[in-house]
Amino acid sequence: MSVSVKLDSDKMILAMAKKQYNCARLANASGVSRATISYIRNGKTCKPDIAGKLAEALDLQVEELIETKKE
């Protein structure tokens, strides 16, 4: 059974803007494909290692990117 996490796309987009990253720049910085980044930005889940790579490239902790349920 594989584990997946859902990242908060709004937080990810904001962090990308702060670093002046588009998908291509984030892909280069993180080693994650542009297609995967696009899927995540559109609400798809990813594996924890991918979340870690993106968080590191964005100078964040993984926990800061993980989506929390809004009540």
47's tokens: 């594996």
Distance of alpha carbon 62 from alpha carbon 71, whole angstroms: 21
Q: Name the superfamily (CATH) of residues 5-65.
A: lambda repressor-like DNA-binding domains (1.10.260.40)
Domain regions of the chain by residue span: 5-65
Q: What is the pLDDT of residues 16-71, one digit of tens each?
A: 999 999 999 999 999 999 999 999 999 999 999 999 999 999 999 999 999 876 54
Name residues whose C-beta falls within 8 Å of residue 55's C-beta, 6 or more positions apart in sequence. 61, 62, 64, 65
What pLDDT shows up at residue 21?
A: 97
Q: State pTM to two decimals.
A: 0.90
